[in-house]
Amino acid sequence: MFRSKTKLIAVTLASVLALSGCAASTGAEDDGDGATLTLGAVSSPATLDPSGSKWGSSAPFYQAVFDTLLLATPEGTIEPWLATDWAYDKDNTELTLTIRDDVTFTDDSRLTADVVVQNLERFRDGTSPNAGDLSSVVSIEAPDDTTVVLGLDAPNPALLNYLTRDAGLVGSAENFDNPSIATEPIGSGPYVLDASATVTGTSYAYEANPDYWNPDAQHYGAITINVFTDPTSALNAIKAGDANGMKVASNDYRTEVEGAGWTVHEHQLEFQGVLLFDRGGDMAPELADVRVRQAINHAFDKEALLSALQSDHGTPTTQVFPETSPGFDQALDERYPYDPEKAKELLAEAGYPDGFTISMPSTSLVAPATWTLLTQQLADVGITVELTDPGNNFLSEMLAPKYPAALMILEQNPDWQLIQFMISPTAPFNPFGFQDPEVDEYLQEIQTGDDDERADAARELNEYIVEQAWFAPWFRLQGAFATDANTTAELLPTNSYPALYDIVPVG
């Protein structure tokens, strides 16, 4: 999966179009103590040390061993987990967590507030691509064994959600100095890694934790997670009954998955389209004119692209805010209908009656048809796209930045996460650091306002960036997780892989 050392948890291009390799697996069996769940993943974690963890499709590898401080639910709520209660001060710059006093790690050490402090500090200062999620946390203290206090340099509306993910993973402090921590994780989670049955990078075996504090969340006696980085091998495993749950890597395989008797659970978590980075015109002066950016939006036939590239599994859109956001406005999806003539008019008004040339990076991870359609539809309105292939440096060169625009598939995160990901001046997917005073005002209201003020500001921000054509989205992808006849799952609105707690046996 494409990653940089910044907060790139939402980058999903490579997980949608996985590369190569396969892993042998066995389907559901009864091990004598309960059913065995066999899952398929599209990539393996670089480390099982929580300080270097990431989320997305890697989540089940960590959730098996580690608990998080808070729990994200399929209903979109945040619930207690290792932290039983939480509260902000009146300025929303101090978060107090109450920690459970009845939890032990599988090395028999106890969960205490001090252990939580150490975990949070290791993550914030560690190697995780999402370490920046805690960058606003300037102090972490434990005044007693069950209380943790986080001091923030400014309000962070996304912090509670971050604590349901990799930033909130808690491992045994006794294991931090273990030179083998990357492959020998110790947590308080529902399962324990069976190192003797695990092949790093290929297949991971977990046994139920007999002393787990919340046995109601343990639905299996054992779990195996096999890595299928080749969509064909994943499909073969589904057809052979060698798995119980699998993320569907490509909509091209949906019919065959359903034909194998599996149930496809759907959600629209990601969008695909062109990101217009250089809104200040530093590299491509043409993009500084809003009429040019609007012309690009009118140039794309979103319905035809969805049909050709995703077999109609998705929804055409012009906005990057998700449907679950209070900022989402269905009417905005009608703002840029496919209209090549309107696009040409806008280009002429902006002073480019003969069009212009723009450079973009390409990658073999995207099907050739995508590049053909992208360049063809822009060429139809007079815009010539020069594609170059930076190879394995696709993401790093794009965010350097070395290109004024690029095709991407990204998660549609909750509001403040999305803002910090692709809108704020310091967002990784705002690589030119483009800043707009009106946008800054909306960001301030979202960061410091109450719930109603945040919702109003999110709506106004979304409408503004659509009108200003900051991006040229094509469609929201219909993502899918499939389960066999013996298994069911509920999807999360904030992650591409369901939580282990939400994958359960049928009956």
pLDDT in tens, 235-283: 999 999 999 999 987 788 889 999 999 999 998 989 999 999 999 999 9
pLDDT score, position 28: 45
Give Cβ neighbours of residue 241 (< 8 Å, ≥ 6 apart): 27, 484
Q: Could you read off the pLDDT of 8-25 as tens digits, one per residue?
A: 333 344 333 333 333 333
The answer to whether 58 and 247 have CB atoms below 8 angstroms apart is no
Q: One-letter amino acid identity for 365?
A: L
Q: pLDDT value at position 42?
A: 86
Output the pLDDT for position 7. Answer: 35
Q: What is the mean pLDDT of residues 93-118?
A: 98
Quickly state the pLDDT bin for 208 (edges 50, 70, 90). Answer: very high
Average pLDDT over residues 412-431: 94
pLDDT at 336: 98
Alpha-carbon distance 68 to 81, whole Å?
A: 7
Tens of pLDDT, residue by residue over 422-467, are 999 999 999 999 999 999 999 999 999 999 999 999 999 999 999 9
CATH top class, domain 13-262+484-505? alpha beta
CA distances from 498 to 58, 94, 114, 479 (A): 11, 30, 30, 12
Quickly name the fold that domain 270-477 has: Dipeptide-binding Protein; domain 3 (3.10.105)
Can you name the residues that pair with 360 across neighbouring β-strands? 387
Q: What is the pLDDT of residue 6?
A: 34
In the prediction, which pLDDT does 386 show?
Answer: 98
462-481 tens-digit pLDDT:
999 999 999 999 999 998 99
| Residue pLDDT, tens place only, 342-393 | 999 999 999 999 999 999 999 988 889 999 999 999 999 999 999 999 998 9
**pTM for this model (two decimals):** 0.86
Q: Per-residue pLDDT for 27 more than 50?
A: no
φ/ψ of residue 483, rounded to 5 = -130, 150
Structure tokens at 72: 């994200």
pLDDT of residue 16: 35
- pLDDT higher for 251 or 399? 399
Task: Fill in the amino acid letter for 244.
Answer: N
| CA distance linking residue 461 with residue 326, whole number of Å | 11
How far apart CA 435 and CA 439 sit, in angstroms, is 7
Tell me the domain boundaries of the chain.
Answer: 13-262+484-505, 270-477
Does the structure show a pLDDT above 70 at 165? yes
| Structure-block tokens of residue 108 | 């028999």
Note the pLDDT of residue 101.
Answer: 98
